[in-house]
Amino acid sequence: MDFDKILEKCGNAGRYQYLMILLLGYIAFTTTVHYYSQNIIGFVPQHWCYHDQLADLSFEEIAAIYAPFGKDASCTRLEKIEGNNLTVSSEACQRWIYNYDYGFRSMNAELNWVCDDAYKARIGQSLFFLGSLMGTFTFGMLGDRIGRVRAVILANQCGFVGDFLTTYATNLVQFASFRCISGLAATANYYLMFILVLEYLAPKLRNLAISGTLGICFCLGALVAPWLSVLAGNWRIYLTCSALLQLVVALFYFVVQESAQWLITRTNVEGAIARLKHIAHFNGRQVAAADFEAFRRNCIAKRKLSNQPEQTAGIIDLMRTPNLRKISLLVVLIFMLTSLSFNTISRNVEGLGMSPFVVFSLFALVVPPSGFIQGLLQSRVGRKATAFLAMLCTGLLSCALGVALSTEGAQSSVTLLLSFALPMRLGISLCYTVTSQYASELLPTCVRSRGIAAVHLAAAGASFLSPYLIHLGTKLAAATSLILALLLLTASFCTLMLPETNNRQLPITLADGEAFGKGESMLSFDCWRPHDDDVAKQPAEELKLHQINGQTEAEV
């Protein structure tokens, strides 16, 4: 009796699984608030250099006075203001007048990190991503060594500590150091929990239920993040709220069971059985002792068949066999391209002719539809076809936007920009979430945490280019969209070379990963698969397991 069969007896779509989905939704919510905090605290409101004669004027009057200076208005210091006669001072500006958007005092405004000091905020953001790189790798390794649950809790506590300490930062060194600590949790706080939940779910819950829940919670997080900052009124209070949300995750230790599949790869079969018994009790299931004994024999027998002890398997082992090497490299490449595109599109909320708080909210509203569309498509056409179609459509849409921006007048049309930006945000959200789930299912359980850590590590490295792509759009309006189109179309083609995972037993060992998807063509989609393929067929490995247990093929 293999893991999927014993889990079905214990309940793979019961109360415990729905509890896990809800907890994953909470993680998705807190992750979104934490992820966008780096953008929100760095919003730069409209500002002008202070002058005594401007103190009692309205913002509209001040803007009219500085209008002749164009883009340099924010950093131009005036010496004399005599009607329309303005005298520019040669001294650098030391004090500014801020027109706070919705009354929110950002970090840049409070610390006066604008004009010549604007680079300081960028350094902090860079170290946030550096922390993300370090945390992705470190917690990925820990997830395979100390367990998924402990790694999830530690990652979120790093986010709590980093955000809380940042509220006391008063200079660049403190701010950059604390943002690096906060960045340790930027990716690991979500994907480790996603892996843990995925290993306990029935295939039917991996589609609409999990996708819909994630879509709603990502939407709530993206909606709450900007308006929570407006409600707080100050970036320090906002970060304190973000930190407290992550502190709650420590309570997961008393609710969430450790991954039974991970325990099996650590040769701790008894620990896995204990977790399965707890899940069966939580789901109200009665499982016979003979079933657990059959599962125990299966694990021991499968260990004997394995050529390499799974507890010593590492990332390098993914490169030792041809099929698993091809799958792993394609997963890394696709996720790098998708992540770079996602960060570029989702973070580009300024320069659209509207308040960034409003743009954040509009972007958030398209996230739930993307989750439900993902669930419906995955259950009908499979993971592979869903990922391919999402990347293809978003790439073509980005290409169309690039062509439109190459014409005169398109850059100043708010309606045109939003009519492309919102569908692209929906599409890239669909691309990112389906790719994240697809990648988790393709890698074997014994190295899944470290493998996904390596994938996210490469993606975080690629995301360093995101600010430069956004900045490139200020110089060449169509360039960013055309580059994104090229990236997404390349990712869609690479997706065709991956095997389907929908309604398949996911690989556990390295041998399973090497055999997974062999012989499938590029156009082998789940919706085109003959129905008789769904009939359970006993593989040669199962026959060997029964022979080790003393059963003949005829008895089987």
Higher pLDDT among residues 487 and 45, named by residue: 487
CA angle, corner 371, sides to 369 and 376, nearest 5? 95
Buried b or exposed e, range 194-215, using 16+ CB within 10 angstroms: bbbbbbbbebebbbbbbbbbbb
CA dist 404 and 485 (Å) reads 13
- The stretch 240-256 carries a mean pLDDT of 90
Please state whether the predicted TM-score (pTM) of the whole model is above 0.75: no
Q: What angle do CA 341, 343, 345 make, to 5 degrees?
A: 65
Among the ranges given (333-342, 455-464, 515-524), the one the predictor scored with the smallest mean pLDDT: 515-524
Res 543 pLDDT > 60: no
Mean pLDDT of the chain: 80
Closest by Cα among 491, 496, 508 to 383: 496
Residue written as tokens 């006075």?
65
**Is 337's pLDDT higher than 60?**
yes
Question: Distance between CA 536 and CA 556 in Å, rounded?
Answer: 14
Confidence of residue 556 (pLDDT cuts 50, 70, 90): very low
- pLDDT of res. 306: 58
Q: Judging by DSSP bridges, how do beta strands 46-49 and 96-99 pair with one another?
A: antiparallel
Per-residue confidence band for 238, with pLDDT thresholds at 50, 70 and 90: very high
Q: What is the DSSP-derived secondary structure letter of residue 105? A: B
What's the whole-number mean pLDDT along residues 148-170? 90
The per-residue pLDDT for 348 is: 74
pLDDT: is 221 or 437 the higher one? 221
- Is the pLDDT assigned to residue 319 strictly greater than 50? yes
Residue from 320, 272, 297 nearest 544 by CA: 297
Q: What is the pLDDT of residue 314?
A: 65
| pLDDT tops 80 at residue 307 | no
CA-wise closest residue to 140 among 58, 31, 248, 262:
262
Per-residue pLDDT averaged across 201-213, rounded? Answer: 74
For the chain, the 3-state helix, strand and coil shares in percent, each to the nearest 5, are: 70, 5, 25
Contact 389, 377 (CB under 8 A): yes
Q: Is a pLDDT exceeding 80 seen at residue 277?
A: yes
Lowest mean pLDDT, pick from 22-36, 105-119, 193-207: 193-207
Q: Mapping DSSP to helix (H, G, I), strand (E, B) and coil, where does residue 98 land?
A: strand
According to DSSP, the residues that pair with 82 across neighbouring strands are 85
Q: Is pLDDT at 535 greater than 50 in this prediction?
A: no
pLDDT in tens, 479-533: 888 999 999 999 999 999 888 887 777 787 778 777 887 777 777 777 666 544 4
Rounded Cα distance between 556 and 551, Å, is: 7
Cβ atoms < 10 Å from Cβ of 506: 22
* pLDDT above 50: residue 414: yes
368 or 392: whose pLDDT is higher?
Answer: 392
In this prediction, residue 549 carries a pLDDT of 44
Cα 399 to Cα 394: distance, rounded to the nearest angstrom = 9
State the pLDDT at residue 311.
52
* More confident of the two residues 281 and 407: 281
Residues 6+ apart with CB under 8 A from 72: none
At 529 the pLDDT is: 64
Closest CA to 464 of 133, 159, 158, 182: 133
Do 239 and 229 form a contact (C-beta atoms < 8 A)? no
Q: Could you give the angle at the alpha carbon of 190 between the alpha carbons of 187 and 194, nearest 5°?
A: 130
pLDDT of residue 237: 93
pLDDT at residue 462 is higher than 80: yes
Residue 545: pLDDT band (50, 70, 90) is very low
For the segment 158-176, the average pLDDT, to the nearest whole number, is 90
Could you give all domains of the chain from N- to C-terminal order, each with its CATH number? 1-32+116-303 (1.20.1250.20), 47-99 (no CATH), 315-529 (1.20.1250.20)
